[in-house]
Amino acid sequence: MSDLEVCPFDAPLGAEIRGVDISKPLTPSAVETIRTAWHDHLVLLFRDQDMSDAQHFAFTAQFGTLDYPPELLLAIAAGEVRVEDEPMAINVISNVIENGKPIGVLGNGEAFWHSDSTFVEIPPAASLLRSLEVPDSGGDTYFMNMYQALETLPDELRQAIKGKSSKHDAAYSSSGKRRPQFTELDPSKSTGPIHPLERTHPDTGRKSLYLGRRLGSYIVGLPLDESEDLLDRIWDHITEGDFIWAQQWRVGDLVWWDNRCAMHRRDAFDPNVRRTMHRTQLAGDRPY
């Protein structure tokens, strides 16, 4: 008998998984229960987990192929590094500065709604974020159910995006910072992979809205002003919607989201308080 329990939140997405120590190898039946919960609930929370980075990687690898952090995905896409030469790296999200150098990315500011690394051809299927140090308040992370975002789109908007795709420019990080190597300011002229606005989940078969992020986004084939207008109307609809669950972090939490059918954002927090997370990614799949 296993104590593993799936406890859905009273929210449009998310469930806590209880009764399992994820620092140890899982039984095949636990893997299947957790995988199913991931497909059903989009975001999973595991509390009070004490694990090393090696155990974090090992947990993740039981569900698929590991993927690289964003900056390495970009370097690989640009041909600057070869996958064969590149050891897997943990992605550090932190505002901590040591010896004058940030130990991670994103600082203490807000991170805007986004899916991770959609600026590569095959974005990660999932991100698994584990908290090492957290502020008492601020820095909450919010998740949005993008199946519901699509299902609740007004007919007129649903029609307007039918068969359309958008370009996912890598110029902006989720905190809105520009990556200096991307110099083109016009989203209709910049380079980036094209993904359909409506995508089908390979495991659940359900359709969801797939936006990446607002900054630098462009709907292929439209004049720029029409693309901006349509994107604004879609974003107004979803950010006013009620398909969100919020995670208030405790040390030892691991939150695992489906990057294909959920978006996330993060609140800002006091810059004088340390917040550090380590993240792994599961590789994605195409076509969809």
CB 282 within 8 A of CB 156: no
**Among Mn ion, ligand OGA, none, partner that 141 touches (CB below 5 to 8 angstroms by kind):** ligand OGA
Shortest Å distance, C-beta 162 to ligand OGA: 30
The answer to whether 67 contacts Mn ion (rule: CB under 5 A) is: no
The answer to whether 116 contacts Mn ion (rule: CB under 5 A) is: yes
The answer to whether 130 contacts ligand OGA (rule: CB under 6 A) is: no
Which neighbouring-strand residues pair with 43?
257
Shortest Å distance, C-beta 151 to ligand OGA: 24
| Token pair listed for 109 | 């500011």
One of 34, 51, 58, 93 touching ligand OGA (CB under 6 A) = 93
Exposed/middle/buried for residue 170 (C-beta within 10 Å: 0-12, 13-18, 19+): buried
**Among Mn ion, ligand OGA, none, partner that 266 touches (CB below 5 to 8 angstroms by kind):** ligand OGA
Phi–psi pair at 170, nearest 5 degrees:
-90, 5
3-state secondary structure of 268: coil
Cβ proximity to ligand OGA: between 116 and 198 the closer is 116
Total binding residues toward ligand OGA, as defined by CB under 6 A: 12
By the criterion CB under 6 A, which residues form the site for ligand OGA?
93, 106, 111, 116, 127, 129, 141, 174, 264, 266, 277, 279
